[in-house]
Amino acid sequence: MEKMPKWADVVLIPLISLILAAIISGLVILALGSNPIAALQVMLNGALGSQYNFGNTIYYATNFIFTGLAVAVAAHAGLFNIGGEGQAMLGGLGVAIVCLMIPFPHWSLALVCSIVGAAAAGAAWAFVPAYLQAKRGSHIVITTIMFNQMAFALLNYLLVGPLKSPGGMEPASASFPATTHLPSFHDMLAPFGIAFSRGAMANFSFVIAIIAAAAVWVLIWHTRLGYEMRSLGKSEPAAKYAGINPFRIIMITMAISGGLAGMMALNNVQGEAERLILGAVEGAGFIGIAVALMGRNHPVGIVLAALLFGVLYQGGMSLSQDQTLRIPRELVVVIQALVILFTGALDTMVRTPLERLFISLRGGRSAKAAE
């Protein structure tokens, strides 16, 4: 028998954790001599107060959906893929090669090939850590961290060497051809007579991210492969007894996970920068871990958590730029860290008393029914 209803596990615990993180953040802001209510208003206005701000919030949320899904898929198989950062960097390389090497007549054809290029590059970067885990027992957390550093070094080499834009001073590739540019929200909504900010960074990648979330839901809960992944994640000895090959599942799972992380490049490389630049991932690979934790590794939860972190990211920049409050940009990182702390490391602190509460309530109802 479950200790608490599903809705409490999926909604109530993250909500309480979020409230606790907000309270602690408010106390930190108060300690800095600022008004936490005013800070919250600035953050919300900065994230949702205009079409431009909302479009940028969606842009950051798109990044986090891809990386959150990558972490979640691996987690269902009992793997902790912390290498989303490096896999997203290599996904950008895949997108850049496709967009620069092939003369596309239309963005839709470029998008299909970019999806393949980004997913293949991300999956390839996850291949070696997966093999070492499956065949040699190397801990995948250690190997994927190392591969994050290697990805940065590789990209740095390529962007100051073979892929560097001719005549350019910064480590970046040449700009992609105009026929590869993805439609922005302004372009997508204009045919329906809906005006949207032209300068907002949100683009067609958001639609791909939602489709990817739906695909992950089908994969995990409605396919044999998903069942095998979840079985391995619950108990490897039991999975082996049921005839499931752990090596095969680990390799496939990490390929899907790395491919999803790599697809983040559709948003930041092809959709926004329209060229490959160093540091384009901006830590989204690591934030994906928090997004997956808060979303309970469920695609719906991940989309909602990604939107929340998008608000934190975009609103945080507005907060740091506010001249009246004078709150440092680093405080946003502190708030994100508190959300991660309460939704991940301190999950038991919230879960245990709630489980006791639901058990006592269930016991009370059973006693009344017996009378």
Domain assignments of the chain as residue spans, ordered by start: 35-325
The neighbour count for residue 44, using CB atoms within 10 Å, is 15
Q: Is the dihedral of CA 114, 115, 120, 123 positive or negative?
A: positive
Residue 253 to residue 259: CA distance in whole angstroms: 10
pLDDT of the residue at 366: 66
Higher pLDDT, 321 or 217: 217
The neighbour count for residue 127, using CB atoms within 10 Å, is 15
pLDDT of the residue at 368: 66
Mean predicted confidence (pLDDT) in 62-76: 96
Q: Report the CATH number of the 35-325 domain.
A: 1.10.3470
pLDDT of the residue at 318: 85
Taking only the tens place, the pLDDT of each residue in 13-64 is: 878 888 888 888 888 888 878 888 888 888 889 999 999 999 999 999 999 9
Residues 6+ apart with CB under 8 A from 158: 93
The per-residue pLDDT of the chain, averaged, comes to: 89
Mean predicted confidence (pLDDT) in 157-163: 91
Taking only the tens place, the pLDDT of each residue in 268-302 is: 999 999 999 988 898 899 889 889 988 889 999 89
pLDDT of the residue at 74: 96
Q: Which of 61, 10, 62 is nearest to 298 (CA)?
A: 10
Share of the chain above pLDDT 70, in %: 96
Which stretch of 94-98, 219-223, 363-367 has the lowest confidence by average pLDDT? 363-367
Residue 51 to residue 102: CA distance in whole angstroms: 34
pLDDT of the residue at 68: 96
pLDDT of the residue at 29: 83
Residue 250 has pLDDT above 60, yes or no: yes
Q: What is the pTM of this model?
A: 0.90
Taking only the tens place, the pLDDT of each residue in 347-369 is: 778 888 888 888 887 776 666 66
